[in-house]
Amino acid sequence: MPSPSIAQLAINTLRTLSIDAVQKANSGHPGAPMGFAPVAYALFRDQLRYDPTEPLWPNRDRFVLSNGHASMLLYSTLFLAGVRSVDKDGKVGAGPAVSLDDIKAFRQLGSRTPGHPEYGLTTGVEATTGPLGQGVANSVGMAIASRWLGTRYNRPGKTLFDFDVYAICGDGCLMEGISSEAASLAGHLQLANLCWIYDNNHISLDGKTALSFSEDAAARFASMGWAVTHVDDANDLGKLAGAFAFFKRTSDRPTLLIVDSHIGYGSPKKQDTSAAHGEPLGVEEVRAAKRNYGWPEDAQFLVPDGVLEDFAQGLGKRGRAAREAWQQLFLEYRRDHPDLAHEVDCMARRDLPQGWEAALSAFPPDAKGMATRESSGRVLEALGERIPWIVGGAADLSGSTRTAFKGEGPMEADHPAARNVYYGVREHAMGGVVNGLVLSGLRGYGATFFTFTDYMRTPIRLSALMEIPSLWVMTHDSIGLGEDGPTHQPVEQLAALRAVPHLLVFRPADANEVVECWRVILQNRHRPSLLVLSRQALPTYDRSQFGAAAGTARGAYVLAEAAGGLPQVLLLSTGSEVSMAVVARAQLAEGGIRARVVSMPCWQLFEEQDAAYRENVLPEAVTARVSMEAAAVLGWDRYVGPRGTILGMRSFGASAPIKDVQKHFGLTPEHIAEAARALVQGRR
């Protein structure tokens, strides 16, 4: 361990950098960094297996700051640790991930020190954490991934993967329900490589946590199968070292380190300063805090001699030795196990194995067809045979969503390399865990009924913000559920999720559109995708008579052309309602009306096509347009235009057999045909 003097100097540097950055920005939270700086120091300087010069080294330990409002603690630590920047192509640069100028630009436009940590923007940030509890759920996914990777790829004498995962969390994280869901799953899986460090400071934004929070966290976690230890003073480096040693000795369960801290000054004996949590300290309080640390009161962004060197002697030296040993090991591994080494390379680059597309075979025409959840399950099964690192499951709905790999058992504590993750009824944690899997190199997915995306909106949104290829498989897509009724019939979810930037929302119309959706999804390295699938059977179209399903990749395409020339009316739809538009087209043709059917499985991809393609699919000259979708009508006006008709849901659904529900809400081929006739004949 370093001498007490240099250790205290480094800790106070973390504190004062955080204080000065928040004060200069006049925005942010200095309290948590002040109180928990000793913990960050003890973890990074003496425990973490991490090489600052190679921040993406595959077997590095992961650190997640779940209470992201304490971001300055992480930024200050990354700066003092000398972490190098890495570009979007994974190339390590000569410059720092966080410079002193970046710290001075905290929360400013274009800086690498935003208000909450953002993955992909700041090297060293392993996950985007803002909404409380998300980071600890991500850490569970990372710990699962470490065990999965180790079980699949480690060989006697050649341990490629055994990284540990640490997460700092606060009272807010533990109050949020996602943390309980995630902790329950981690305890069930006995993730001994997972350590949560709980900043027990008794303060939240409203004041003392006693206003709303009085549970025994230690008892709660113990009941979920966690090992629990307690450090009564965050400033005691010896006790912190003992707590981390306790974690590393624990081999059969995850560990919760409860660390008592004080949010104002970092000492349990100092008077509480609640303002330190929710806002800058102010000039006089900054001076008082620095005086308490024995710091020059007027100094700003001071980094004393020896602090950078202290981190280099601890974290830097230890991490470099571990990384170099790993790289030498991997050279030998590549020689002895070239096929497995190739898989590791593919995961690191988010590439796919050669020949993976052979799994994507076309479905034969079938008037009766199958539910798109069924065809998607078959595609997933075939892909799993060629892409071993597709790992995921459902929130207690594996059978209903068709997302379990047949012939493989469930992931369990003694079977960590299984690919079927049984998340239980934990949709919110499932979302955070999936993101953790993907951040660790796996192609993770999570599945449930579409209406329950309401329980997992935040991790879906964060997957888009992080630009990672998480996959969300959603079934039971519409009022077509019938008897289950309005609680289970998604109405507003499509519109809401289409509004999420960077998220690709797919609603395929038949089995072959499903195939093409999967083709697009797996080739995306930096975009999450959400598949919306039907429970009811849909016809599989004869593509010799209809447009090629490959048009799915462009977001929208002409499925059925108008017979006899330029269409008089366009029938636009997605998913299960496309088959109704096809029937309506035939009905209109009997009356001499030329109708074109356009399938629009992914609006986002269609918007990204060039103007010529969009005009070819939706010619501006054809203003008579009818859309039908068994969901909220919001957004369809951009495609239907002022003269068109939008058929959809303007209320919640109802409980009744599917045909009765569709007829009641006017979602039938006859309603499409009637609306089209009215437009063509000028009767609207």
CA–CA separation, 282 vs 290, rounded Å? 12
Among 538, 573, 540, 580, smallest CA distance to 558 is for 573
Give CA–CA dist 215/208, Å, rounded: 14
427 labelled catalytic: yes
The span from the first CA to the last CA of the chain, in angstroms, equals 81
Q: How far apart are CA 173 and CA 425, in angstroms?
A: 20
For residue 553, the surrounding DSSP H or E stretch is none
In whole angstroms, what is the distance from residue 465 CA to residue 468 CA? 8
* Structural Rg of the chain based on CA atoms: 28
Please state whether beta strands 537-540 and 366-371 pair in parallel, antiparallel, or not at all (unpaired): antiparallel
Distances in Å between the Cα of 135 and the Cα atoms of 65, 118, 439, 576 are 7, 11, 12, 37
Q: Is 230 helix (H, G, I), strand (E, B) or coil?
A: strand
Contact (CB, 8 A) for 594 and 567: yes
CA gap 601, 555 in Å, rounded:
6
Give me the catalytic one of 118, 126, 374, 427: 427
CB–CB of 122/133 below 8 Å?
no
Q: How many CB atoms lie within 10 A of CB 565?
A: 8
| CB-CB neighbours of 237 under 10 Å | 21
SS3 35: helix
Q: Give the whole-angstrom CA distance, residue 186 versus residue 479.
A: 35
Q: Which helix (H) or strand (E) holds 232?
A: none
Task: Return d(Cα 229, Cα 218) in angstroms, integer.
Answer: 8
Cβ–Cβ < 8 Å for 165, 139:
yes
- Three-state secondary structure along 128-190? CCCCCCHHHHHHHHHHHHHHHHHHHHCECCECCCCCCEEEEEEHHHHHCHHHHHHHHHHHHHC
User: Rounded distance, CA 399 to CA 477, Å?
Assistant: 16
- Other Cβ atoms less than 10 A from the Cβ of 557: the count is 23
Nearest 5°: phi and psi at 86? -130, 135
CA distance 240 to 255: 14
DSSP secondary structure letters along 383-441:
HHHH-TTEEEEESS-HHHHT-SPTT--B-BTTBTT-SB----S-HHHHHHHHHHHHHTT
What is the DSSP code (8-state) at residue 632? Answer: E
CB atoms inside a 10 Å sphere around CB 95: 10
CA nearest to 556, candidates 644, 474, 486, 638: 638
Q: Which residues are catalytic?
A: 427
